[in-house]
Amino acid sequence: MKVNGKIVYPGIVEGEVIKYNGNFSFLGGVDPKKGILKDDGRYIGGKIFIFDSSSGSTVGSYIIYGLRYYGHSPLAIVCNLADETLVTGSVMAQIPTLSNVDTDIFIDGDKIKINNDLIEINLEPVEVVTSILYHNGKILILKRSDKVSTYKGKWAGVSGYKEDLDPEPAAKREIIEETGIVDPRLIRTGGHMFLRDGKRLWKIYLFLWEVDNENIKIDWEHTEYRWIDAEKIKNFDTVPGLDKAIRRLFNKI
């Protein structure tokens, strides 16, 4: 799989990923004299350091340069959102850096190659569709049965493999099969998002549909269903990423 990013500082490298989840500040987040993360003690020297976004005071730029000065700089840096501190520090320290990358693709230990604006990882995504059905201010969630191959007993939207169809027809096929509803009205699409689950990478196409009837007929893949307020999804044991998918479809992220 190949992933494009925006070059902050160019370079060609190959190495192992160290992944930090969330926003990272080099000021207070890493010891430049030792190259270790202060949260968990992991050593980032010679690794490809990946995190979601960067922030912090301009002093952080000198922390990045300090990593280089003391011989502990990352082999490369990859993130989604890069602030001025990261941009300045990467240039000062001459560390290959990419931004505008979906960091949900990667986990600790991945082996990847960076060639300027291109990342290569030996992993191909499994394409699936997820639909959220909307009726009278509530959304539909379904509890997956013990007969399905993944995420048994978890709450989910209407989901299934894309297979040989385009995403929208595949989503409508799953709605018919899993709920018996044949005439959903598409409100919006949420593009796609990636979700990493161990060695498996899901590429999930998102759809929000409106329906006229809350009475549905579930198939063997589910044991029960509920119509809930979208914000209450956090109270349920769901498949990974469902909350993020709902927030994206309702334009809350």
Which sequence positions are flagged as catalytic?
57
Distance CA 40, CA 24 (A): 13
Distance CA 169, CA 235 (A): 31
The closest of 210, 2, 7, 190 to 98, measured between CA atoms, is: 7
CA distances to 3, 44, 55, 122 from 199, rounded to whole Å, are: 17, 22, 30, 10
With tokens 């299934």, the residue in question is: 160
The closest of 20, 241, 192, 1 to 111, measured between CA atoms, is: 1
DSSP string, 84-133: HHHHHHHHHHT--EEES--GGG--TT-EEEEETTEEEES--PEEEEEEEE
What does DSSP assign to residue 239?
Answer: -
